[in-house]
Amino acid sequence: MKATREKKKTKKNARKMSPPLSRARILRAAITLADRKGIAALSMRRLGQMLGVEAMSLYNHVANKDDVLSGIVDAIVADIDIVASGLSWKESMRRRGISMRDVFARHPWAVGLLESRRSLGPAALRYCNSVLGVLHRAGFSPMMAMRTFSVLDSFAYGYCIQEKSLPSRSAAEAIEATERLLGQIPERDYPYVVQIAAEFVQSGFDFAKEFELGLDLLLEALETWRVADEELLAHGTPSPREFPEGPVPPTFRE
């Protein structure tokens, strides 16, 4: 009995010493839990246990689990660098892409969750508006801006998913795995695979540099596309990538 009373007293004192429960604290704990256990492990019960409170106490600050998921997505997006003024659109998008990879490397569960939300929080809205504003000021039409945004995000998401799914977690591990693979593949039957694998082992591999290489290739292609559209418009030829005739969307009005 005495041990039980002491245990309850200890828990009570711990709750008194903890910071007061708030939405921000709940979301921070949810992100930590997802980082440690994966997003599938996130539940209101586990979140309450982590915070040292009953699960029902959480509902004074968040509506439900879906509200928590939307909140942590918004918090993750807030960590992605919002494009700075004074840079070219290509440099702005390059910095944004590198920042995205860094954020998703810390929170790999966030990629799928980000695209599954039906509404955007305030941080996500600011982020989207900032990106679209940079593209608009660079001369992208609304449709071009949307497609550019989509193409760059698709590349970043896909690269991050691929990177986190690889059995090798570092360049050294990747090279070691490739060396083992070389010993198992007959060169006579698969000459091109062996050639590429041998080159990979010799030259090494850097996930960050490979990501930046792919990003730069996309940006160069998109710049060529943008310039071609500008030239069409300069000669009075309607851009085939414009929206149909109608009012200009509010986002792109000066």
Q: What is the reported pLDDT for 174?
A: 79
Task: State the average pLDDT over residues 158-165.
Answer: 90
Q: What is the reported pLDDT for 205?
A: 76
Contact 174, 162 (CB under 8 A): no
Are 160 and 214 part of one and the same domain? yes
Q: What is the reported pLDDT for 88?
A: 93
| Span 86-142, pLDDT tens digits | 899 999 999 999 999 999 999 999 988 888 888 889 999 999 999 999 999 999 989
Are 58 and 90 part of one and the same domain? no
Query: The CATH number of the domain where 210 resides is what?
Result: 1.10.357.10
249 — pLDDT class (breaks 50, 70, 90): very low
pLDDT of 245 strictly over 50: no
Contact 106, 75 (CB under 8 A): no
**Residue that the structure tokens 């998921």 belong to:** 69
Are 21 and 89 part of one and the same domain? no
Q: State the residue range of the domain holding 161.
A: 76-165+206-252
CA 46, CA 59: separation in Å to the nearest integer? 14
Higher-pLDDT residue of 27, 82: 27
Share of the chain above pLDDT 90, in %: 56
Task: State the average pLDDT over residues 46-75.
Answer: 95
Contact 29, 19 (CB under 8 A): no
Amino acid letter for position 123: A
230 — pLDDT class (breaks 50, 70, 90): confident
Q: How many domains in the chain?
A: 2
Are 112 and 48 part of one and the same domain? no
Q: Is residue 143 part of a domain?
A: yes
pLDDT of 49 strictly over 90: yes
Are 34 and 83 part of one and the same domain? no
How many CA atoms lie less than 13 Å away from 114 in the CB half-sphere? 24
pLDDT of 222 strictly over 70: yes
Higher-pLDDT residue of 27, 248: 27
Higher-pLDDT residue of 177, 126: 126
CA 191, CA 81: separation in Å to the nearest integer? 43
Residues 6+ apart with CB under 8 A from 38: 109
Are 97 and 218 part of one and the same domain? yes
